[in-house]
Structure 1
Amino acid sequence: MMKKIVFLGCGSMGEAILAGLLASGVSPQSVVVTVRRPERATELASRHGVTAMATNEEAGANVQAVEGASVVILAVKPIGIMDMCLEVAQALDSNTVVVSVAAAVSLAQMESALSPGQPAVRSMPNTPLKVGRGVVALSAGSAVKEEHLNAVHEIFNGAGVVLDVPEEAQNAVSAISGSGPAYTFFLAEAMAAAGEAMGLTPEVAQVLARETVAGAGIMLTEPGADAQKLRRAVTSPNGTTEQAIKSFERDNLGEVIKTGAQAAAARAAQITEELNSK
């Protein structure tokens, strides 16, 4: 029997997960998606061949969608996760595993809004899922069995690397891999700006920065790749690269990045507390 997989909400991240799932060989006929706008539902159905419903047209679309589902993916914003859980809780099969892809929403918060014993998984995916190079960290709730976790792994495997982590590590995961693509894009921006400051045209500077960051990222995905070793391999003694690295070290760039990541993790914890107070 074909498993039914449901996406409640399907924005940019949700669609990236959906695309990876379908690319792994899952039949579009086994997937149901709900979104608010009819135009978005039509777009998703046309692009991916899945069943898509708009809650603005069908008020009970979410409840209807989850009936008989094996996995339900909550792909709405953090502030909407609890309400979504409450809305569909009574329609879920007791063996359906509910997966949140929202930052900062704890398992305890999810489980409090679901029926007792409902399997729940907290995940932290990142945007490179869109190009099949994402990383996803999963934390299992108290009612999750091996079969549930395996089913969730299968959903994300098509779009990236999947890791299991304890829930207390999720804020750190969010700060490193969840926010990490933005750090990388910021680096590319800074490199391009530096090139312009040294006389390159904006077009040339942007291409040099973009392709260098992208190419270095691909090198890091090769088997056995190690960032420190790769850096040392292109840092010749008394060479030009060494001077740049020494400048970064004098300015404590590593500490700057660590402080930024800690600030991101702290904000995630703060959001969790804000959601608790609502």
Structure 2
Amino acid sequence: MNISAKPSIAFLGTGSMSGAILSGLLENAEAFGAVSATTRSAASRDALPSGTAESVALADEPGANQRLAAASDVVVLGVKPAQIGDLASEISESLRPGTLVISVAAGITIEALESCLPESVAVVRSMPNTPSHVGLGVTGIAAGSAATDEHVELARSIFEAVGDVLVVEEDQIDPLSAISGSGPAYVYLFAEAWTQVALDLGFTAEQAAVMVQGTFKGASELMVRSDDEPSELRRKVTSPKGTTEQLIKVLQDAELEPLFARAADAAIKRAKELAAE
């Protein structure tokens, strides 16, 4: 692995997730070398955060992906899953031996990605989530067949710029995606439902937002700071024969745990379908 102490990183495609990682890296620029990026259009290029060493619109330079890939120690494939194979094949001959290629695409297996790339490069598959936008992400990473411990640690350092990182086996990536990758949507769904309940109870939209968003934020922060398990924190709020106990009973009667398990299974199934498409 011939990667410098401050590795250069190219983001080929800057969608929502890869764009969040790019922003996080630029806020921790002292740990990395030049950070470059390609986008489809001049408009999306101009929207990139300041600090990007070089940003290129493919509309202006169609060969920019190959050029930046050849000049970088780390290449992040930031396009949609359906475009990953074509992008990997496009840059395959440009990559230097030892280059670390990171995928952030849901459902695309390491084997599928490695089949498009030379054996001399290392692959790490990742699954970040959207709180990476505010530096509070959770990312799972799994090493490919040629990835060394040094490659994995480098990938970890990149994603730690935007939150917490779990190193897992690849067969855990899809389940991880169902929990933390899709997880923010579950939280927003609950917030959406409680907001509507507040509105139905006569509160204004502004009041509902303060109650629901403030409660979610406060409860999450308390959970992070506390040594107690979530179940214990719930018990501390739930006084015997009190109002919360009645509310919790209604929710538990709905058998939420098997419902969540079915939801996770549906997400994992879809990830496998994406891999086969």
1:210 paired residue number: 213
Q: Which amino acid aligns with 2:29?
A: G
2:38 paired residue number: 34
Match of 2:185 among 182, 187, 210: 182
Change (3 A) 1:173 1:230: same
Residue 15 of structure 1 pairs with residue 12 of structure 2: no
CA-to-aligned-CA distance 1:184-227 (integer Å, 9 cap, x gap)? 00000001111122222232122211111122122222263521
Shift of 1:27: 6.8
1:106 paired residue number: 109
Shift of 1:28: 7.9
Shift of 1:181: 0.2
Q: Which amino acid aligns with 1:198?
A: L
Q: Is the 8 A contact 2:81 2:106 kept in 1?
A: yes
CA-to-aligned-CA distance 1:85-108 (integer Å, 9 cap, x gap)? 000011001100100001000000
* Distance of 1:24 and 1:232 partners within structure 2: 40
1:251 paired residue number: 254
1:265 paired residue number: 268
Q: What value does the CA root-mean-square deviation take over the aligned residues?
A: 1.6
CA-to-aligned-CA distance 1:17-47 (integer Å, 9 cap, x gap)? 01211222337861110111112212326x3
Q: Is the 8 A contact 2:26 2:52 kept in 1?
A: no
CA-to-aligned-CA distance 1:145-173 (integer Å, 9 cap, x gap)? 01111111111111100111111111111
Q: Which runs of 5+ in 1 are unaligned?
A: none
Match of 1:237 among 236, 240, 248: 240
Q: Give the alignment's TM-score, normalised by structure 2.
A: 0.94
Q: Give the alignment's TM-score, normalised by structure 1.
A: 0.94
Change (3 A) 1:48 1:12: farther
Change (3 A) 1:26 1:41: farther
Q: Is the 8 A contact 1:28 1:50 kept in 2?
A: no
Match of 1:76 among 57, 73, 79: 79
Q: Is the 8 A contact 2:9 2:33 kept in 1?
A: no
Q: Is the 8 A contact 1:20 1:159 kept in 2?
A: yes
Give the share of equivalent positions with the same residue, in percent. Answer: 40
1:7 partner SS: strand
Shift of 1:230: 1.3
1:26 partner SS: helix
Q: Which amino acid aligns with 2:272?
A: A
2:9 paired residue number: 5
* Distance of 2:32 and 2:142 partners within structure 1: 27
* Distance of 1:120 and 1:225 partners within structure 2: 38
1:131 paired residue number: 134
